[in-house]
Amino acid sequence: MTAAGALAACSNSGNPSSFNKQVMNTAANNEISTLDSSKYGDTTSSEVLQNSMEGLYRFDKKNHAKLAGATKVSVSKNQKVYTFDLRKDAKWSNGDPVTAKDYVTSWRRTVDPKNSSLDSDSFTIIKNGNQITKGKASPSSLGIKALGKYRLQVTLANPIPYLPEILVGAQFYPQDSKVVKQNGSKYGTNSKRLVYNGPFTVKGWTGSNLKWTLVKNKNYWNKRIVHLDKVNVQVVQTTSTGVNLFRSNSLDYVPLSSDFVKQYQNNKNYHSVITPTNGYMTFNLKRRATSNVHVRRAISQAINKKQLVNTILHAGRPSNGIVAANFITDKNTGNDYRKDAGDMVTYNVKDAQKEWKIAQKQLGKKKITLELLTSDIDDAKRVGEFIQSNLMKNLPGLNINVRSIPIKSRLSNTTNHNYDFVYGTWQPSYEDPLDFLTVGGLFNLEQDYHNQNFWHQIDLARSTYATKPSQRLNALIAAENQLIKKDAFAVPLYQGGASYLLNSRVKGFQLSPYGNVAYYWNVRMK
């Protein structure tokens, strides 16, 4: 395989015998970690959940949040209490009705600290959510209540204008209460250990295998919009393998890693979009070296992010703040948030080396060895190697070891604080800076990062300034400045681009507005 022309010459029109079949064959970059919507924390699991489950809202063809699991919503005068009338025709794949109790069960499980949910911070917008995630209140006190079998009441901590976009997220999906009770700790650990209320059901995932199938859900209330009978998914960890499978008509969709973008960007089957997906690093504050703020500041300024994008990724743009650019328009200024907030941290070797010398003096060491944790997919390993090279070149005395492991293990290691610093990517759940600043893939933020000014500014943005756009913007910028510039808890690296090859027979394919999650419910094979 050499050039894009070779792909064009290959007639990727599919197997003639399958032309009339509504079956799509696709690739995923990583394995599923879990199908428990209270515990997932990776893109592949999110994609499977978003195609097989449904919450109160779902994105339509234009990526606008529309009522789905509910038919009607009313809002109180103080804009804190939302009452949803649920669909009486919504059923789980086992025939059980989807009830208000199922939402209560799910949300309480996710917010309960004992379940170590990576998305529990999303529930701080709900009444008592913040106290519960800190272990200071019972999950039963969360602001969600079943008013009847098909009536659900949600009480917010403060008014927010973007609730529909938030509730689209997989962490807010219901869970069949009966099935959760039956399976206990094994809920969602394979495709048979849960049931589904979305466009597709999941078949063939054993909990560790690298292939599964999305099958049209006959019990889905809106099954008339679902044209595909099956979506066969296989994990393809090397892009060269995926491209070869695409060229041989074995795959209809394959994401492209950075080294293939340049090669295929002029091909008719090539597609690319800039997304708000973050490439970033966070530090383990429980370890001596990385708990030192000068170590973190030095690392944050010693990476040539422009070179990373141009020579390694070939797509996206460098990031100098943790909140994505060209994604959030401030309601007060009319500007993109990133323009108002400005650059928080830039590539500056001179300043990085000043911080590094202070760190060496405070730690009493001239030579320091740190481990960078990444996933084992091609792009992640390449980014890790680039960071390793940059840091060891620009910070004399620093030795970096890169440990690349499967995404499931990487998530487990970060949750268990088994890392010095970790590289990952994260896609937002809604269009507000709070999502980047309080969730954002920022591992162990709530548990480990206790800067009073940061949390004070976040609280102001959530409460006192919730309906005061100007003051709220200033609070959010102050919080980001504290987190990224002053304390360097996280290092923004780049804003990603989603690039992929798609069979021309595939119509109606779309990606999430927040990143590279593929939606299949509107797809039709021509």
Q: What is the pLDDT of residue 102?
A: 98
The band of 20, judged by pLDDT with boundaries at 50, 70 and 90, is low
What's the rounded mean pLDDT across residues 277-290? 96
DSSP SS3 for 425: strand
For 110, phi then psi, to 5°, come to -70, -40
- Beta carbons of 416 and 455 less than 8 angstroms apart: no
Q: What is the pLDDT of residues 506-516, one digit of tens each?
A: 999 999 887 77
**10 Å Cβ neighbour count for 19?**
11
Q: What is the pLDDT of residue 19?
A: 55
Residue 87 in this model has a pLDDT that exceeds 90: yes
User: Mean pLDDT lowest for which of 117-121, 144-148, 356-360?
Assistant: 117-121
What angle in degrees, to the nearest 10, is found between the helix axes of 293-301 and 349-363?
160
Residue 378 in this model has a pLDDT that exceeds 90: no
DSSP SS3 for 319: coil
Q: What is the pLDDT of residue 14?
A: 44
Please provide the average confidence, as pLDDT, over all residues in the chain. 92
Q: What is the pLDDT of residue 514?
A: 78
Residue 332 in this model has a pLDDT that exceeds 90: no
**Terminal alpha carbon distance of the chain:** 27
Cα distance between residue 420 and residue 440, in whole Å: 19
- Angle made by CA atoms 252, 375, 437, in degrees to the nearest 5: 100
Of 326, 341, 331, 339, nearest to 469 by C-alpha is: 331
pLDDT over 90, % of the chain: 78
Residue 4 in this model has a pLDDT that exceeds 60: no
Cα distance between residue 394 and residue 255, in whole Å: 33
Give the β-pairing of 368-375 and 421-426: parallel
Q: What is the dihedral of CA 39, 105, 212, 276, to 10 degrees?
A: -50
Greatest mean pLDDT among 54-63, 189-198, 255-264, 273-282 lies in 189-198
User: Mean pLDDT lowest for which of 160-169, 203-212, 291-300?
Assistant: 160-169
Q: What is the 8-class DSSP label of residue 513?
A: T
Residue 6 in this model has a pLDDT that exceeds 70: no
Give the β-pairing of 398-405 and 368-375: parallel
